[in-house]
């Protein structure tokens, strides 16, 4: 959904903003929220997913995600507050497979590297707090319902989650 031109246009009109982040191994989704409208039920003003090529090494993927986030901050300035989904281990089959494969460790490294960019204004959001173990399609339906936008669509699950994290932190989800 996002582009460099959109960020450039936002820079002209946006004074202060908040950022919500869904860190992931295959991509990291962000949603930007206008500070002046933070307490209102409204969609984000910008979303994007930083999705590195799958065939590259883990450290290259991590550098791509961190550099992409730094580019947003360089374009818009430092967000007032950043909310990042904290990686968590679940006692489910999927959670055990993720931990055994090393994916959980890589996810923790990714979230930690992102958090390092925003230490002064960072809040962690746990999955259990904002969505629990609900399937993605149910979370997406709840977001559409809350915003009253039945035709709402974001290109990636990471962007959907970044929007959900924001709505949760705003007190609407």
Question: pLDDT value at position 85?
Answer: 96
What is the C-alpha to C-alpha distance for residues 114 and 170, in angstroms, rounded to an integer?
Answer: 21
Name the CA radius of gyration of the chain, rounded.
Answer: 15
Residue 103 sits at φ, ψ, to 5 deg, of: -60, -35
Residue 31 sits at φ, ψ, to 5 deg, of: -135, 135
Which residues of the chain fall short of a pLDDT of 50?
A: none
Token pair in block for residue 21: 């982040």
Question: pLDDT value at position 165?
Answer: 98
Question: pLDDT value at position 163?
Answer: 97
Is the CB of residue 10 less than 8 Å from the CB of residue 153?
no
Question: pLDDT value at position 168?
Answer: 97
Tokens 């580019």 correspond to what residue? 71
| Residue 145, domain extent | 4-169
Question: pLDDT value at position 90?
Answer: 67
Question: pLDDT value at position 101?
Answer: 77
Polymer length of the chain: 173
Per the prediction, the chain carries an average pLDDT of 89
How many domains is the chain built from? 1
Q: What does each C-alpha distance from 36 to 88, 103, 155, 170 come to in angstroms? A: 32, 37, 26, 12
First-to-last C-alpha distance (Å) of the chain: 22
CATH number at residue 152: 3.30.420.10
Please write the tens of the pLDDT for every residue from 21-55: 999 988 999 999 999 999 999 999 999 999 988 77
């Amino acid at each position: 959904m996002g582009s460099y031109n959109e960020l450039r246009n936002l820079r002209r009109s946006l004074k202060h903003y908040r950022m919500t982040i869904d860190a992931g191994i295959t991509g990291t989704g962000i949603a930007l929220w206008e500070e002046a409208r933070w307490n209102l039920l409204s969609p984000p003003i910008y979303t994007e997913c930083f999705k590195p090529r799958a065939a590259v090494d883990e450290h290259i993927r991590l550098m791509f995600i961190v550099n992409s986030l730094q580019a947003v901050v360089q374009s818009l300035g430092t967000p007032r507050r950043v909310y990042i989904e904290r990686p968590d281990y679940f006692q489910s089959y999927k959670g055990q497979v993720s931990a055994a494969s090393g994916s959980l460790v890589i996810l923790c490294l990714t979230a930690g590297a992102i958090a390092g960019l925003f230490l002064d204004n960072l809040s962690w959001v746990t999955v259990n707090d904002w969505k629990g173990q609900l399937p993605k399609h149910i979370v997406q339906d709840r977001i559409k319902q809350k915003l009253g936008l039945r035709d709402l669509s974001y290109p990636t699950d990471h962007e959907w989650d970044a929007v959900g994290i924001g709505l949760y932190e705003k007190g609407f989800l």
